[in-house]
A and B are shown apart, each in its own frame.
Chain A
Amino acid sequence: MSPVPSPSSVSSVLKRHLIFVSGKGGVGKTSVSQAIAHSLSIQGQRTLWVAFDDPLRPPGELRKLSPTLHYLNCEATIAFEEYSAMKIGAATLTRIFLQNKLVRYLAKATPGMHELFVLGKVWFERLNYDHVVVDMPSTGYGLAMFQSTKNFTRLFRGGPIHKDAEAMLETFANPTQTGFLIIAIPEEMPLQESLELNGFMLELFPKNPAAFLVNRRFPHSTESATPENSPESWENPIPTSAEDYVHKRVILEEYNLRLWRNAKIPIEEVAFILPTPQNQMIEGIASELKTRGHV
């Protein structure tokens, strides 16, 4: 067995052309990816921030957030139509193709198709920007996007889809072009899931290790964890007072982070940003990223 490659640093990943931000649901992928896109764009880099199927925005919407920052709500059906039009060329034939009931059905129902086309859309869009920052779906679904692409290259031969899928994989595997950032919060499940995700990603892209970032780190204090007051020793999991909660939370975070320490993952972090209105929070995270030298 080959040794597990050391993780990339957050700052090196955030310099890359294509940045995929992934992790368990609820760890703040959307806010952090937006803050990264914001940070890159205010440095004057033309940046695209991509979300997949955001139900609060119109599907396929491309919106200008600032002179250097765009937002794309990537949606599979639209991506499929654009791709088909590009590959078929002739407008009449494209129309016949896209209006065909069977084709529409297959584009929707064939397993892996959705994933392949939305990822393809991101891959094509990279040509128009200095940076593309992608807010990936949570762990399993996000991983399935890359796996589907790989499966298509493995299972089917010839044809433009196969060729493009191979070129996509080459870009994703290349650490000079693509970076993977795995976000967690200092809780057991997200930290654990980030390690599992990293394992799967390394199987797909062994030469392009991800960087890890702990989001929402609670303020540390002088009364930190000691081996004697480990969470294992607390009788009731429900805290009894605000003081008890704060005290235990500090200890618990330290305790949970052992999962990463044991896996030799450097603890790069973003502090807990007060739950303020969304735009202030994004700026808060962006300023954290800057202060800590991540971007």
Chain B
Amino acid sequence: MKTSSIDAILQKRRIIITCGTGGVGKTTLSAALALRAACLGKNAAVITIDPAKRLATSLGLGELGDQPLDLTPQLRRAHLKLKKQGLDISTECKGTLAALMPDTRRTFEAFIHSLNPSPAVTDQILRNPIFQIFAREFSGSNEYMALERLYALNLQKRFDCIILDTPPSRNTLAFLDAPKLLTRFFEERLIRWLVLPTNKIVSMGMKKALGVLEKLTGSGFMTHLFDFASALFEVQVAFSSNLKKITELLESEEVGFLVVSAPISGAAPEISHFIESIENHGFHFDGVALNRTLGYLRKGRTDKRKKPNQLAFQILDALQDREAEVTRQLQGVVPAYFTTLPELARDVHSIEDLIHVATAFDSINR
């Protein structure tokens, strides 16, 4: 079924997850989407990962914004001001808008705490050097923590529209794979091997393999690893049940996925790959937003006039041609909602700027 507008999607879902590669303007778009929901009368929140400094500032997110910050007064003021200036927007902005930026490192520790009531085990995990690599660098922990945060926020029922801006991922939905990656470490059968390495039933092959591993890694590593694994084993049940709840939420009708891309060559196969991934996970794919487009600037072109900087216009032409080609390819492969959003002349500085962007949904290229 083809959904015709972004507003229909915002009405249908409680949660929209935006995903895409880096540099496509996903964070700005996510914030604009939450703002648009607020103008539809929703209590909207955007969970953002890594906003540009100016965007963070305009969302009231300074160094830390771990708790939802209410932006409704600023939104209403900006809305009123633009309305007075004659911008074609709704007469009133009835909903609310909040933004938050989870502190992933702190959340990870909080998450471990939440899994296990025993202070000894918590301490054992947090002090372990392998945990320290795990918490900071494990590719996937950021993504997983964002999901944890989404789940917790959704439970509160304070918001009826949450936009989750996910970390960029290049070719696969690393973000969707994050729960799976973590599960690997928590996989019961294998952790059992680690926890009970000297078990009588250990085969000769296993003894040999572990012997080689110890030789390769040197002393210390194996000890820390066994220690880490046995501590994780203690929280394994709690982790698995958390993961199950998150997965159920993501698979539910409440959650829709919006793929964000830019009109670059190779965008169409990349987007197809994202869509396939979303559907393979059993999630609901809602549509594609092609951001940073320039095609709409073709209207009212003054080709005859002599312009300075001819080369710049040549580049612009080539970019617009490429965009037209990408759009043509996409209309063939995207079975759902498709929209284009404009490339901006400068970064977003304020809530007013975000209103301009939010207004551009479904309005340019028409």
Which stretch in A13-21, A172-180, A248-256 binds the other chain? A248-256
- Name B319's contact: one of A101, A231, A275 (CB within 8 Å): A275
Chain B interface residue count, CB cutoff 8 Å, equals 77
Chain A residues with CB under 8 Å of B111's CB are none
A245–B343 alpha-carbon span in the complex (Å): 9
Q: Which residue of B lies closest to A248 (CB)?
A: B345
Chain B residues with CB under 8 Å of A206's CB are none
- Report, as a range, how many residues of chain A touch the other chain: 35 or more
Which stretch in B147-155, B245-253, B299-307 binds the other chain? B299-307
A237 adjacent to B308 (CB under 8 Å): no
B270 to chain A, nearest CB (A): 10
A55 interfacial by beta-carbon distance below 8 Å: yes
A91 interfacial by beta-carbon distance below 8 Å: no
Q: Is the interface of A mostly helix, strand, loop or mixed?
A: helix
Which residues of B from 192 to 216 have beta carbons under 8 Å from A?
Answer: 193-194, 205-206, 208-210, 212-216
B29 to chain A, nearest CB (A): 13
1/0 per residue, CB under 8 A from A, across B154-169: the answer is 0000000000000010
B4 interfacial by beta-carbon distance below 8 Å: no
1/0 per residue, CB under 8 A from A, across B289-330: the answer is 000001001101110000111011111101100100000000
| Among A108, A190, A231, A236: residue with most chain B CB under 10 A | A236
B344 adjacent to A238 (CB under 8 Å): yes
A221 adjacent to B23 (CB under 8 Å): no
Q: Is the interface of B mostly helix, strand, loop or mixed?
A: helix
- Name A238's contact: one of B21, B221, B312, B342 (CB within 8 Å): B342
Chain A residues with CB under 8 Å of B216's CB are 84, 87, 159-161
A127 interfacial by beta-carbon distance below 8 Å: no
B218 adjacent to A246 (CB under 8 Å): no
B302 adjacent to A222 (CB under 8 Å): no
- Name A161's contact: one of B134, B217, B264 (CB within 8 Å): B217
Using A105-B184, A219-B312 as known contacts, say yes or no to A97 and B171 having CB atoms under 8 A apart: no
B190 adjacent to A105 (CB under 8 Å): yes
- Name B213's contact: one of A55, A97, A188, A248 (CB within 8 Å): A97
1/0 per residue, CB under 8 A from B, across A258-277: the answer is 00000000000000101110
Which stretch in B39-47, B118-126, B352-360 binds the other chain? B352-360
Which stretch in A3-11, A24-32, A33-41 binds the other chain? A24-32
- Name A25's contact: one of B22, B136, B193, B297 (CB within 8 Å): B22
A236–B318 alpha-carbon span in the complex (Å): 25
B234 interfacial by beta-carbon distance below 8 Å: no
Using A26-B23, A237-B353, A244-B345 as known contacts, say yes or no to A111 and B218 having CB atoms under 8 A apart: no
Using A148-B133, A192-B53 as known contacts, say yes or no to A157 and B349 having CB atoms under 8 A apart: no
Which stretch in A65-73, A136-144, A282-290 binds the other chain? A136-144
A241 interfacial by beta-carbon distance below 8 Å: yes
A179–B129 alpha-carbon span in the complex (Å): 30
1/0 per residue, CB under 8 A from A, across B234-268: the answer is 00000000000000000000000000001011000
A237 adjacent to B168 (CB under 8 Å): no
A121–B209 alpha-carbon span in the complex (Å): 22
Chain A residues with CB under 8 Å of B209's CB are 96-97, 100, 102-103
B64 interfacial by beta-carbon distance below 8 Å: no
Q: Which residue of A lies closest to B187 (CB)?
A: A105
B208 adjacent to A96 (CB under 8 Å): yes
A33–B132 alpha-carbon span in the complex (Å): 32
B346 interfacial by beta-carbon distance below 8 Å: yes
Which residues of B from 20 to 76 have beta carbons under 8 Å from A?
Answer: 21-24, 52-54
- Name B137's contact: one of A93, A147, A237 (CB within 8 Å): A147
A110–B131 alpha-carbon span in the complex (Å): 10
A44–B264 alpha-carbon span in the complex (Å): 33
Q: Which residue of B lies closest to A233 (CB)?
A: B346
B213 adjacent to A106 (CB under 8 Å): yes
Using A97-B212, A144-B139, A239-B342 as known contacts, say yes or no to A274 and B315 having CB atoms under 8 A apart: yes
Q: Which residues of A contact B (CB under 8 A)?
A: 24-27, 55-56, 84, 87-88, 93, 96-97, 100-103, 105-106, 108-112, 115, 137-138, 141, 144, 147-148, 151, 155-162, 187-190, 192, 218-219, 221-223, 231-232, 234, 236-239, 241-246, 248-250, 252, 272, 274-276, 278
10 A-B residue contacts at CB 8 Å? Answer: A96-B209, A102-B190, A102-B193, A110-B225, A147-B136, A147-B137, A156-B218, A158-B220, A236-B353, A237-B353
8 nearest interchain CB pairs? Answer: A25-B22, A26-B23, A159-B218, A158-B218, A100-B209, A221-B309, A231-B346, A248-B345
Q: Which residues of B contact A (CB under 8 A)?
A: 21-24, 52-54, 129-130, 132-134, 136-139, 168, 170-172, 181, 184-185, 187, 190, 193-194, 205-206, 208-210, 212-221, 224-225, 262, 264-265, 294, 297-298, 300-302, 307-309, 311-316, 318-319, 322, 342-349, 353, 356-357, 360
14 more A-B residue pairs beyond the given contacts A88-B212, A111-B134, A239-B342, with a C-beta to C-beta distance below 8 A = A26-B23, A111-B133, A111-B137, A138-B170, A157-B219, A158-B219, A192-B52, A219-B315, A221-B308, A222-B309, A241-B301, A242-B297, A244-B345, A275-B318
